Structure 1
Amino acid sequence: MYYLLLLTIFLLILYLIRAIRKPKNFPPGPFWFPIIGNVFQLRKLTAALGGQYLAFSKLSEDYESNVIGLKLGVNKVVVVLSYGAVKKVLTSEEYDGRPDNFFIRLRSMGTRNGITGTDGELWKIQRHFVTLHLRQLGLGKKPMESHIQDEVSEMLTVLEKNKNKELEIETIMQISVLNVLWVFIAGSRFQRNHVRLVELLKLLDERGKAFDIAGGALNHMPWLRFLAPEKTCYNLALKVNDKFKAMLMEPIREHFETWTEGRDDDLIHFFITEMRKVRDEETTFTETQLLMVCLDIFLAGSQTSSSTLTFAFLMMLLNPDVKKKVHDCLDKEFGKSEPITLSERNRVPYVEAVLFEVERMFTTTPIIGPRRVLKNTVLEGYNIPKDTTVLMSLYSLHNDEKYWTDPGIFRPERFLDEEGKLIFHERLLPFGLGRRRCPGEILAKSCIFSFFSEVMRSYNIESPPGTQVPSGKHHSGITLIPQKYRVVFDKRHF
């Protein structure tokens, strides 16, 4: 019994030593505690500063390094904060993996399917399939602009019915962006008063605030879901999953019922056609994969583009001089009923500069990733072991004082030269780089540009009478979400 006790103590000490020991030449960072690593340190710092991205910036200052090494639960995590290192990760094959962890699987309803959270052959096959067929359906071409203009008309109708009334603009933008996406995916659009859709968007807001890009404590200590399912937001995640599945499976089942040979009017029909052709048991074209592809696209369109638009209109409230320049620019270049599309953006470089500045100052995904290192590698002189999770701070790139000089000031002119022509800064990376660059980039840009320009041409946006101008603050979670604010759309006469 005595020797057994000694052996137990020895093994425990050995475990503790291994748990806190860092790999040789691992990036600098705080001390690792056994079992939990830096989970609670990071949570405390995040709460104190108001965002995980701010916590990472503080650690970068404290350790005087643009590459920080952490351990979250049992997972080694490296955070990258400089342009050179971020570009290296985004464009190098050894960083193309995705972690296979609890949160990734929870997001994907217990599976490892879809595009966003996968890697390897499944990711290559499915990403190629989706991008190819979205192009065939008109993505980046005239059909896309036509779909966007249809939704612009619907959106302007909503604003016209509610002119001079107080409105929350975020939901209007979310549904508009989703409808453009959904026409490509399912060949239809959502009704704006769809009860399930409105409820789901509210749940997404809650989910976005509850988790961070690394999945929070629940990801690193998944056993907490048994002890505190509400506090860890595990129950919330399950609720969101159930709502998503119910909403997305409805059009998928309808497509199975109406599918005929050669039907190719939307992505779901394309996918079902591929399922009918392939009978291999190893195929990636399954009903579960179809559901997850729809989920990935839904999540991609539900918040990032609509949040960018919501931030853009907020900047118009807070910067009347910029708002006037936008109005003057649009009035000069476009007739009252002339469609404003992305293909015509070169006529209004100031408007595009305004949107670039919004994307820089309010990076809706301040931390991108996570990536999984596929083999032992070296980054900025530090050893990065295989299977390490890598997170990248776009916030740090977009707020680098050495490059932008005054990053805390909203100044669209930083994207214009002396002749008023657009300047493209390579350090502005809202859609990423490399093989995992956002496949819906052109659609997102088109929606943001057209929706913003069409609304600004038709309406003057003001705070409701007797109310204070919004503070410009935001919620930080998986994405940056603007705080709710109300506006009045006053019809412009020109």
Structure 2
Amino acid sequence: MVEPRLFTNTLPCSTMVAATMSFLSQLIPPFGSLQVLLVTAVCALVLVLLSFRRPRNLPPGPRGLPIVGNALSLRTNVPLVFTEWSKKYGDVLTVYTGPMLTIVLNGYAAIHEALVKNADVFSSRPSSSASMTPDEKTLGIAQEPYGPKWKEHRKFALMSLRDFGVGKRSMEGKILEETRALHDEISKNRIKAFCISHMMQNTVSNVICSIVFGCRYEYRDKKFQDLLMAIDRVLRRTSADHLAVMLRPLRYIPGVRKGYLDLRNSQAVLVNHIKDRIREHQETFDENDIRDFIDAFLLESKKRQTDENTTFTEQELATVVLQLFLAGTDTTSTTLRWALLYMILHPDIQGKVQQEIDSVLGPSQEPSMVHRSQMPYTEAALTEVSRLATIAPISLPHGTSRDTTFRGYNIPEDTLVAVNIWSVHHDPQLWPDPSKFDPARFLDDAGKFVKRTEVIAFSTGRRVCLGEQLARMEIFLIFTSLLQRFTFKLPEGAPKPSEEGVFRGIHAPVPFKLRAEPRN
């Protein structure tokens, strides 16, 4: 569960900048020349008006075209493009996607300076983020600007997650219960090649269900599958659909409207499911028996019911739960898929991990977080997965809370700030041969694990991932349990899968199949 999707239904910066180009490519076929001319004229007028307000002394950046800005250069592989531009323009640069000003931060030094040393300025969210929430008003933890409400709700969420076992043995039990169910599903495919993506999604999603709803689903439960399908539809919408959410006039263009409505309908399915569960909790609520996150929120809401300014509302609860699901499923399951891909591509490393697991756990003892410090090579391998794969290459958009001067440049209030984590994790100055999978980067001469502050898979600063501790528990326990019981291999005769992933908001591996060979 990594920060760029934690706990939100929003458009990551990498998708946002690609969205403009995707939209333009979809725009022309449905329209006649007159309609295209009118749209172009409106966009040109907006651009001219904005140009009068263009701030002075912005960071340098590539020249853009009228109307589209730099969007033509940002159709694919946005983190790589930003990283390449930083070599010419510096670690702090300016880009425009259409009329939208974006400041891009590259490299560990610039990111740390902004998000940690200048956290008061760079810890907010841009106002455009509000349009990404289902009702375009209730922001939830992820999209709330930096301020008292955000601090209050983040503190409540952290306390609630701890109360329901995050970081404790009780949560380990829930994760291991799902891991055993995953073992059973894998065992049904003993000699067959299979794709583990859907199984992994089931496993991770059920962990979130246990925290939020207080129960788990059987994998073939229709409600559970409907929930996962709705989550998938929201996460897999095109960037043009998301752009229409952010730029209201685009919603009424025939060629775009259908995708926009499909996105909103998928959100509605999720919100309605969540509100049904909230109503069930309201009907059975007992303040002396707090079962899960929803109950904890309802209890807090009851304590504040005489406060007319309370923000602990039912809509806020529904939004936060929605964000929990969207953040807590895709990123963690994708991290685990990358981990298994690297294991089948590097069987020597898989063998070393298994040797360590066997020496600490033996063939039957279930893993626990107390074993983590005893397994430095496994920890190093998982850290290298986080670095090399960089699941969230560009974080959720940050925003400036006031006008500021940063590294000698003027940055206005409410400017969208893109944090290019990829540029840190693939910096050859920090990581020699950065495209190589090498757990030894995180081991000293004695074989002990060495933590590197430059690994910022969960971001850094005040907006660091709220679910980091839960995600680390899931990844360690599920990964070690799987390698304790199975050896993962390429199917016979199958081509070697690519280590180059696909950038689609998150960085995901190209779909691949594997075989799971039982051990002992």
Deviation for aligned residue 1:71:
2.9
CA deviations on 1:35-55 (whole Å, 9 max, x unpaired) are x352xx32x3233xx322122
> In the alignment, is the contact (CA less than 8 A) between 1:330 and 1:453 conserved in 2?
yes
Name the counterpart of 2:106.
81
CA RMSD of aligned residues (A): 2.4
Distance verdict in 2 for CA 1:459–1:64, change over 3 Å: same
State the distance in 2 between where 1:256 and 1:220 align: 34
State the distance in 2 between where 1:85 and 1:352 align: 27
Query: What does 1:402-413 align with in structure 2 at a 5 Å threshold?
Result: 402-413=429-440
CA deviations on 1:430-469 (whole Å, 9 max, x unpaired) are 1122221111111100100110110011001122223223
> In the alignment, is the contact (CA less than 8 A) between 1:97 and 1:371 conserved in 2?
yes
State the distance in 1 between where 2:50 and 2:268 align: 40
State the distance in 1 between where 2:236 and 2:445 align: 41
Name the counterpart of 2:60.
28
Secondary structure at 2:417 match in 1: strand
Query: What does 1:189-200 align with in structure 2 at a 5 Å threshold?
Result: 189-200=216-227
State the distance in 1 between where 2:198 and 2:245 align: 29
- Which residue identity is paired with 1:23? P
> In the alignment, is the contact (CA less than 8 A) between 2:241 and 2:259 conserved in 1?
no
Name the counterpart of 1:170.
197
Deviation for aligned residue 1:239:
2.9
Secondary structure at 1:417 match in 2: coil
State the distance in 2 between where 1:486 and 1:338 align: 28
Name the counterpart of 1:105.
131
> In the alignment, is the contact (CA less than 8 A) between 2:501 and 2:509 conserved in 1?
yes
Name the counterpart of 2:299.
273
Deviation for aligned residue 1:140:
0.8
Structure 2: which 5+ runs fail to align? 1-43
Secondary structure at 2:261 match in 1: helix
* Residues paired across the two proteins, number: 473
> In the alignment, is the contact (CA less than 8 A) between 2:403 and 2:412 conserved in 1?
yes
- Which residue identity is paired with 1:77? T
> In the alignment, is the contact (CA less than 8 A) between 2:133 and 2:139 conserved in 1?
no
State the distance in 2 between where 1:247 and 1:294 align: 11
Q: What is the aligned-residue identity percentage?
A: 32
CA deviations on 1:102-122 (whole Å, 9 max, x unpaired) are x54234442332111112222
CA deviations on 1:117-168 (whole Å, 9 max, x unpaired) are 1122221121111111221222111211121122222221222233223321
Name the counterpart of 1:129.
156
2:421 to 394, 414, 418: 394
- Which residue identity is paired with 2:300? E
Deviation for aligned residue 1:261:
2.9
Distance verdict in 2 for CA 1:408–1:371, change over 3 Å: same
> In the alignment, is the contact (CA less than 8 A) between 2:250 and 2:257 conserved in 1?
no
> In the alignment, is the contact (CA less than 8 A) between 1:461 and 1:490 conserved in 2?
yes
> In the alignment, is the contact (CA less than 8 A) between 2:241 and 2:256 conserved in 1?
no
Distance verdict in 2 for CA 1:163–1:115, change over 3 Å: same
> In the alignment, is the contact (CA less than 8 A) between 2:230 and 2:269 conserved in 1?
no
Name the counterpart of 2:286.
260
- Correspondence 1:378 to 2:408: no
Query: What does 1:393-472 align with in structure 2 at a 5 Å threshold?
Result: 393-472=420-499
Distance verdict in 2 for CA 1:447–1:379, change over 3 Å: same
Query: What does 1:267-346 align with in structure 2 at a 5 Å threshold?
Result: 267-279=293-305, 280-346=307-373
State the distance in 2 between where 1:275 and 1:248 align: 17
Deviation for aligned residue 1:203:
5.3
Query: What does 1:39-188 align with in structure 2 at a 5 Å threshold?
Result: 41-42=70-71, 44-47=72-75, 50-61=76-87, 63-91=88-116, 92-101=119-128, 104-119=130-145, 120-188=147-215
Higher deviation after alignment, 252-261 or 397-406: 252-261
2:253 to 227, 237, 241: 227
TM-score (norm 2): 0.85
State the distance in 1 between where 2:280 and 2:77 align: 42
Distance verdict in 2 for CA 1:109–1:220, change over 3 Å: closer
State the distance in 1 between where 2:478 and 2:395 align: 25
Deviation for aligned residue 1:215:
8.7
- Which residue identity is paired with 2:113? K
State the distance in 2 between where 1:477 and 1:255 align: 35
Deviation for aligned residue 1:16:
2.4
Deviation for aligned residue 1:228:
4.6
Name the counterpart of 1:4.
none
State the distance in 2 between where 1:58 and 1:211 align: 25
Distance verdict in 2 for CA 1:122–1:266, change over 3 Å: same
Name the counterpart of 1:492.
519
> In the alignment, is the contact (CA less than 8 A) between 2:404 and 2:411 conserved in 1?
yes
- Which residue identity is paired with 1:410? F
Secondary structure at 1:434 match in 2: coil
Distance verdict in 2 for CA 1:245–1:31, change over 3 Å: same
State the distance in 2 between where 1:301 and 1:105 align: 21
CA deviations on 1:277-332 (whole Å, 9 max, x unpaired) are 22222111111001011011111111111100000000111111111111212112
CA deviations on 1:169-223 (whole Å, 9 max, x unpaired) are 11211221121222121111122113454455455455445456x9964356432
Name the counterpart of 2:13.
none
State the distance in 1 between where 2:420 and 2:499 align: 21
